[in-house]
Each structure stands twice: as structure tokens, then as C-alpha cells.
Amino acid sequence: MTLYIAAECQYLDRWTVVHCCDSRQEKGGLFEELIGSEDATKIRSVGSAQLFHALLSGIPTKCTDLITGCRRAIEEYAMSPGGVNSDLEISQLLESLRSAAAKRKKEIINHHVEMALGLSLQEFLNTGRDKFTVDHYNQLWSEIRNLDLGADLIFSGFHNKESIVLRLDRAGQVHWENNYSVVGIGSDIALVFLGQRDYDCFSIGLMDCLFRILEAKHAAQRNRHVGEGSLILIATEGVGRFALTNKGWDAFEKAVASGKVPAFDEQFIETGSASSRAGMLA
């Protein structure tokens, strides 16, 4: 799974998060290198209130396992009252996500040791020095140290009428993101384009935000693993979710080609969970 972008902006005088990703997934072979298809679903709602979304980057099964572990932390934060305790609640959320990542990492290590050695991790810790040569023992520890979560996630949502974007990387670190966040194989190219101009989420409007995201997505397609299809989900606090209409896609396709942000048109936006268009901005 490849490129994912979440960016904050203003729409209808409310906080809004625009999500963008490709729909490419690669399958087959030990490293999923054999074929690619444009049929992946990479944006998921998190929590019963569906106030948060998760963008998934990495091995699909490992993404699912990690989201499952993080679900309770997101759910509890979404239902917290905020107000004077908002800083405390944010700290608790970050710590809960770190704990979920640490628990998942332990599960990955346990599985790796059991599959490689036929021993539980505890058995390896207790008897490994006696069972293996020094070189083999050190090699095993090197393999364990190099294991990661196999997934990077972006969580976005709303709390106390404000937008929130968090990134949980495969090393288990949680990042509170400002303005925008990018993960995936094409993220280095996308970040270069997003960083070319100042970005202020308190003043940037929806059209400018969409333009910058799709411009970055188009550039990232230079990476051969980034799919040409694009999916957009616009989530506005207290209002709902929106998608681009065909007219909106046409307008932004021309805008990215010309380098000019289109003027707002109500016909660009429609109510819906998401919209995709294969080959958009190819």
C-alpha cells in the first residue's frame, strides 16, 4: 500500500480534514511484488461514533491488527468531554496509542521467535544463550531489533469542534501533526510539493487545500508504486462527509495541469463517503 495524505483546512466556517490516497495494492510473492491492482480500500472509520478516520499504509493485515489495537484509545478520546481537561486527554490518547503499538510489537516478536525457532519468546530469553552459539544468538537478537509494526497509520478526526491529525509510524512513535500528514512509499515526493508554499490550516480554504493535495499526489505518481487512481474524502466537523463530483474532478484535473487553484463552485462537492476516479491526474 502506498500514498496517503490528510490535510486540515476551513470549509463552511468549520474545521475540515481532506483525505487523499491512491487505490493501488500489490499482491503475490514474498514481498508482494508480483502484480498491482487499483482496488484497495485505504480509508476506514474508527469508533462507533465514526468521528475519526484511519489511513492505512503497509501490509494490509498488519494495518488491520494495529488499528484493532488502537481502536479503544481512539474511542475513549472521541467520547471524552474536553474543555479544561483537553490537554490531559490528549496526553492520555498519545500514551494509549504508544501502549497499543508496544503491545502489537510484542505480539510480532513472539510470532517471529516461535516461527523461526519453535520456541516461545520467554523460552528464548531463558535458554537462548545455552541453546545457540554466540554468533547465532546475536544474529537472532539483530533480527528481533529490526522488526517493526509493518504499518504506518494516520488518524484524523474532530474533538471539541477542532480537527486532529495524528501519525503512528511503524517504529511505534506517535506524532501530533500540524496542517498535514503524509505516509506511504510516495510520501517523500508528496512532502516536497506540500512544503513548497506556506500552509496555515487556520486560513486555508477547501479549494486551495484540495489543489495542493492533488498536486502532491500527482507528483508522487513518479514513484512507480503509487497508483494513478485517486480517492478523496472530505470530512467537515458537525456537517458530514463530502466527495468530489465529476465536475469537481474535471476542474482539479485542469487546475493541477495549469498550476492555478480553481474558484469555488458548489457543484464541485456532493454528499457521500468518498469518490474515486481511475486514472485521475495521470
Assess if residue 282 is contained within a domain. Answer: no
Structure-block grid coordinates of residue 48: 462507533
Between the alpha carbon of residue 27 and those of residues 12, 36, 39, 146, the distances in Å are 41, 6, 11, 23
Pick the more confident residue, 51 or 203: 203
Residue 139 reports pLDDT greater than 80: yes
Least confident of 50-64, 111-125, 227-241: 50-64
- Residue 240 CA to residue 128 CA, distance in Å, equals 55
User: Quick one: average pLDDT of 159-175?
Assistant: 94
Residue 216 reports pLDDT greater than 90: yes
Q: How many domains does the chain have?
A: 1
User: Quick one: average pLDDT of 236-243?
Assistant: 92
Assess if residue 210 is contained within a domain. Answer: yes
Burial class (CB in 10 A: 0-12, 13-18, 19+), 170: buried
252 close to 211: Cβ distance less than 8 angstroms: yes
Assess if residue 205 is contained within a domain. Answer: yes
Mean predicted lDDT score pLDDT of the chain: 88
3 close to 217: Cβ distance less than 8 angstroms: yes
Q: What are 26-52's pLDDT values in tens digits?
A: 666 665 566 666 666 668 888 666 679
pLDDT at 282: 47
pLDDT at 226: 86
User: How would residue 59 be classed by pLDDT, with cut points 50, 70 and 90?
Assistant: confident
User: How would residue 165 be classed by pLDDT, with cut points 50, 70 and 90?
Assistant: very high
- Position of cell 498519545? 94
- Residue 156 CA to residue 51 CA, distance in Å, equals 8
Assess if residue 148 is contained within a domain. Answer: yes
Q: How far is CA 63 from the centre of its chain?
A: 10
Q: Which domain does 137 fall in, by range?
A: 4-277
Assess if residue 226 is contained within a domain. Answer: yes
Q: At 114, which CATH number?
A: 3.60.20.10
User: Quick one: average pLDDT of 238-259?
Assistant: 94
